[in-house]
Amino acid sequence: MSMDIYGIKDSANVLVRKKSDKKPLIYADYATDIKNDWKTKQVYAKSKSTKAIRWDSEKESTIKMTMEIFDLKWLSMLTGSDFVTGKTEMLKREVLTVGVGNTAELISEPKVGSLSLFILKEDGLTHDKELTVGETATVEGTYAITAKAITLNKTTCPEGSRVVAYYMVDTAETAQTMTIKANAFPYAVDIFMDTMIRDTDQQDKFVQLHYLNAKAKGDFTLTLSADNITKLEIEFDLLKDGRSDDMATYKIIG
């Protein structure tokens, strides 16, 4: 005889499809927490001071997912902006020790006009004085550059002193870039969630939840912490599916 009392102790595997074409977009088996909240609005008629009749309306539902590892496509979905693979610019920071002949060499050649050079203080972080570029380094506080090679003024930057360079370079063609635009927003999706449910006879059954029309809220926070793992939290609004009143289906199979 089948039991009707169940318990669940697991998250769910999630499949997100773009609603416009029903093509699978993201599959995730790593969400640490998934919460599905349902709310309704109540209006009451009272008999004197006691509630006697209740009307329910305005059903609302949200899904909140928490992840500690995640596919970058989640960010694309949240922002409405895709990652594009190809060459782009990046900022580099290099600390250089002035060598023999008051010279130093960068790892890469800076893009024209992008190099900024500073003398470093003893802590190795704080800027002391900004150096200016010139044709030669004969004037105090100046430097000259040819490709990656830098010549510094021997009075301003004697041998053994340190300078820090900031400059732009081109990346490899494999770089991934997402530009978040002010007029781009999340698109509609439907969501399948698979998990297992167990009855009091210790028998497991397969459960599939299907949310028919969902849209990410677009609010997210990425916290980079030296003490804690970065968590991505995503919240969806659940909407009616087209002209029907359907919002979700829960299926227990087995």
pLDDT in tens, 214-230: 999 988 888 888 999 99
Closest CA to 214 of 182, 180, 250, 186: 186
What percent of the chain shows pLDDT beyond 70? Answer: 99
175 by Cβ neighbours in 10 Å (0-12 / 13-18 / 19+) ranks as middle
Cα separation, 242 vs 215, in Å, equals: 13
pLDDT at 220: 85
Which residues on neighbouring strands pair with residue 93, listed in sequence order?
166
Structure tokens at 142: 């100046």
pLDDT at 240 exceeding the cut of 60: yes
pLDDT at 56: 96
Cα separation, 119 vs 96, in Å, equals: 10
pLDDT at 2 exceeding the cut of 70: no
Cα separation, 191 vs 139, in Å, equals: 66
Mean pLDDT computed over 162-188: 95
Q: Give the distance from CA 136 to its chain's centroid.
A: 45
pLDDT at 1 exceeding the cut of 70: no
Count of other CB atoms within 10 angstroms of residue 11: 18
pLDDT at 183: 93
Q: What is the pLDDT of residues 181-208, one digit of tens each?
A: 999 999 999 999 999 999 888 989 999 9
The more confidently predicted of residues 243 and 189 is: 189
Cα separation, 74 vs 212, in Å, equals: 18
Cα separation, 14 vs 211, in Å, equals: 11
Q: Does residue 31 contact residue 14 with C-beta atoms inside 8 Å?
A: yes
Q: What is the pLDDT of residues 14-49, one digit of tens each?
A: 999 999 999 999 999 999 999 999 999 999 999 999
pLDDT at 3: 57
**Mean pLDDT, rounded, of the chain:** 93
pLDDT at 105: 96
Say if pTM beats, i.e. exceeds, 0.85. no
Mean pLDDT computed over 122-147: 93
pLDDT at 97: 96
pLDDT at 151: 96
pLDDT grade, residue 50 (50/70/90)?
A: very high
Q: Does residue 104 contact residue 185 with C-beta atoms inside 8 Å?
A: no
Cα separation, 27 vs 12, in Å, equals: 11
Structure tokens at 127: 């800027």
6-37+57-84+181-253 CATH fold: Pnp Oxidase; Chain A (2.30.110)
Q: What is the pLDDT of residues 77-110, one digit of tens each?
A: 999 999 999 999 999 999 999 999 999 999 999 9
